[in-house]
Amino acid sequence: MKKLFLLIDYFLKKTYFRYLLVALAAYFVDFVGFIIILYLFETSPVIANIVVKVFASLTGYFLHKKFTYKLSNMHMTGSFLWFGSAFIYTPLSTILLSILLLYIQNPIIAKFISDILMYFLSYIYNTKIIFKE
């Protein structure tokens, strides 16, 4: 059991692992919210994607700030870059989703694929620009 705790401690010290955990939490908000908005409100996948990106962005920002990068305060520049990137990320994600919907009839599968591709771009951007260590 002690080895398990040592292994968990080891991984929690790795920024990428913490980033992945927070990304999964934010993605849960994103994906479940997408399904709820898509089917409960019977809206288009594009509108559902735009709406949930706002909530997922807020979730990701606060969790990354406190848990991933362990920042007690953040300069206004970092916050501006984060939310500025959301204004770029959301349209890019939505455009990619729209393109995938031309080939994939199931909006949930199309969203999942577009989000996987966008995840790698956001990790590079967030680590190199916003939350520089």
pLDDT one-digit tens code per residue, 71-92: 766 565 566 666 677 788 889 9
| Average pLDDT for the chain | 84
Averaged pLDDT for residues 15-29: 86
Q: 3-state SS of the chain: helix, strand, coil percent to 5?
A: 85, 0, 15
In the prediction, which pLDDT does 38 show?
95
Q: Is the pLDDT of residue 42 over 90?
A: yes
- Token pair belonging to 67: 């848990």
CA distances from 56 to 2, 15, 80, 96 (A): 35, 20, 16, 17
Please tell me whether residue 43 adopts helix, strand or coil conformation: coil
